[in-house]
Amino acid sequence: MSEKYRIEMENISKSFGGVHALKDVTFSVKPGEIHALVGENGAGKSTLMKILSGAYQKDSGVIRIDGKQVNINNPHKGKELGIGIIYQEFALAPHLTVAENIFINRMGNRRGIMNWRELYSKADELIKSIGFNISSRTIVNKLSVAFQQVVEITKALSQNVKVLILDEPTAVLAPREAERLFEILFKLKEQGVSIIYISHRLDEIFKISDRITAMKDGCVTGTVFPHEVSTDDVISLMIGRKLSALFPKRECVIGEELFRVEGLNSDEKVNNVSFSVRKGEVVGLAGLVGSGRTEIARAIFGADAFVSGKVFLKGQELKIKTPKQAVKYGIGLLPESRKEQGVILTLPIRYNVTMSSLKKITGIAGLIKKKKEKADVHELIEKLTIKTRSTEEYVANLSGGNQQKVAFAKWVNADCEVIILDEPTRGVDVGAKVEIYCLINELAARGVGIIMISSELMEIIGMCDRILVVGQGSIKGELSKGEFSEESIMKMAIGGKQGE
C-alpha cells in the first residue's frame, strides 16, 4: 500500500445484533488533511470513528497507519498510535477543575506528588493558545456547555496526536468561537496532523475541508473535493435526494400580541429584558456564547429565579416561579442540553413524550389510558420521523438527533401556546433539520408563539420573523426581516445597541 496516507481503512464492516452498522467501508486520510465525514444520524460515521479510536472492534477489514497494518483493540492502544477523538457528548469529570480534566491521565510525577501550580499554569497556557480565556481552576460543571466543549478540545490537543477526530465540535459554539477553533485546526494541519471532521453544518464543511466523504446506511456514497461540488450535491450523497430548500417557507398570518416580557432581571445574567411575541411569530434570540440567551429562556420558564420583571400571556400577568407553573400556563422549553435537561434517558420514549401532558391521557379515576397514550406517541414518532423500534424503547438507545426529536415531541404533545427552543437542531443531521423546521412552521401556523435561540446565524436568519440580538444579558437591538444578515447580527452583538 502507498504510504501517502496517514490512515487507511479498507472494507470495514461492523454489526450489532444482526443490524449492519457498516458495510465494506473504505476511507482514507492524508497527513495534513482536513477530511470531512458527513451523513445523516445513523449513517455510520460515529461507528467508523469509534473503530478507528479503539472504542469498537471491527468485524472485518484492515486498518493501516502510515502504511503499517495495526490492530486497535482498545482506546488506550488508539492513543498510543496517536489517535485523539472528541465526541459530541462530553467525557468530562464535572466535579473536577478544568486543569484536572485536561491532564486527568497524566497527573503527578513518578512518586505521585502533585505540583498544582505547574498543573494550572500549563492548563492556562494551553487554553490561551487556543484563543479562549477560561480559568483552569474553575470546576467544569460551573462552565457553560460551550466552554465545556472548549475544555474537551484542549484536552485532546494537549496530547501529541497524529490524527484528531472531531464529532460536531462547533455544535454549541457561536461563529466567533468557531473561527478560533478553525484557526487551531489550520495550525495543526500545517504541522502534518490529520483531521477527521464530522459536522452537520455544511457551510463550515465547505469552508475548512480538503475532501468530503459522505455516508448513508453504513456505506460510503462518495468522496468529493469541496471546490468541485455544490451543497446540493453533498446533500444528495447524504440523503439520496436533492434538497431544494433548507429553510421551508412559512405561509401563515402573524396575529396579535400573545406573550410579553417586561423589565426581566436575574442577578447579573439577565438585565432589564423586555420583548414581545405575537401569535404565529418566530422570534429569534441571537448573540455570542455567554451573551445571556439561555439565561433569559430559563428565567422565563421558571428554571432560574428572577429578581424583578413581569411576564404576560394574552394580556394576563403570570406568576411563574417553577417550570411546573410555566407548563401549566402553556409555556414549554426545549433546553440546549438535552441529555441533562431535555429527556430522561432511562425511561421509554412513551413516558418522555407524555410526562408534560398527563391530563390528555388520564381518565376520571386518575388512571392512564394506555391505548390512547401509545396511539398519541406513535403518531408523534411518525410525524417527527423518530427512528425507533417502538414507543417502549429507552431514550438512551437512540441517536443524539432522535433524542432531540423526543424532547421536541414532548412539547408538541403538550399543546403549548408559547414554546422556547434553545438550540433546537444541535447535533441533528440535515434531513432531520428540515423536518424540525417544518414542524416549527406548522406550530406557528396554529398560532403558537415561538422564541428560538440558535448559534447558527443562518438558521436564525432562515427561520425567524424578527431577531433580537442579546449581549451581556440585555437586548442590544432588534432586526426586522429586511435587515437580516450575518454581518448586521454580529455587529450588533459585538458593538452594542442598535444605532451605536
**What is the C-alpha to C-alpha distance for residues 176 and 140, in angstroms, rounded to an integer?**
22
Work out the burial of residue 248: count CB atoms within 10 Å of its CB; fewer than 13 is exposed, 13-18 middle, 19 or more buried.
Answer: middle
The grid coordinates listed for 312 are 404576560
DSSP string covering 387-446, please? --S-TTSBGGGS-HHHHHHHHHHHHHHTT-SEEEEESTTTT--HHHHHHHHHHHHHHHHT
The grid coordinates listed for 248 are 421551508
- The CA distances from residue 93 to 90, 99, 144, 328, 372, in Å, are 9, 11, 14, 36, 42
What pLDDT sits at residue 99? 93
Q: Give Dmax over CA atoms of the chain in angstroms.
A: 73
Segments of the chain with pLDDT less than 70: 1-3, 88, 107-112, 172, 241-245, 268, 338-339, 357-358, 360-361, 363, 365, 494-500
Angle among Cα 219, 222, 224 to the nearest 5 degrees reads: 150
Within a 10 A sphere around the Cβ of 436, how many other Cβ atoms? 19
DSSP state of 66: T
Question: At 44, which helix (H) or strand (E)?
Answer: none
Q: Strand 68-69 to strand 60-65: parallel, antiparallel, or no bridges (unpaired)?
A: antiparallel
Nearest to 41 by CA among 239, 213, 185, 223: 239
- The CA distances from residue 493 to 271, 286, 472, 498, in Å, are 15, 8, 9, 9
Nearest to 182 by CA among 79, 195, 172: 195
Q: Are 85 and 156 in contact (CB under 8 A)?
A: yes
Q: Are 286 and 454 in contact (CB under 8 A)?
A: yes
Nearest to 211 by CA among 237, 178, 187, 181: 237
**What is the C-alpha to C-alpha distance for residues 409 and 386, in angstroms, rounded to an integer?**
10
Strand partners, 12: 25
**Which region holds residue 275: left if phi is over 0, alpha if psi is between -120 and 50, else beta?**
beta
How distant is the alpha carbon of residue 401 from its chain centre?
A: 9
Check the CA dihedral 74-76-77-81 and report its sign: positive
**What is the C-alpha to C-alpha distance for residues 435 and 327, in angstroms, rounded to an integer?**
24
- The CA distances from residue 77 to 15, 110, 163, 285, in Å, are 22, 22, 13, 44
For residues 459-492, one letter each, b for 16 or more C-beta atoms within 10 angstroms of the residue's C-beta and e for the rest, the string is bbbbbbbbbbbbbebbbbbebeeeebeeebbbbb
Q: What is the CA radius of gyration of the chain?
A: 24
The grid coordinates listed for 76 are 488506550
CA end-to-end distance (rounded Å), the chain: 61
DSSP state of 43: S
Q: What residues contact residue 386 under an 8 Å CB cut-off, 6+ apart? A: 349, 380, 398, 402, 405, 406, 409
DSSP state of 302: T
Within a 10 A sphere around the Cβ of 390, how many other Cβ atoms? 12
Work out the burial of residue 190: count CB atoms within 10 Å of its CB; fewer than 13 is exposed, 13-18 middle, 19 or more buried.
Answer: exposed
- The CA distances from residue 189 to 120, 153, 163, 202, 204, in Å, are 27, 15, 10, 20, 16
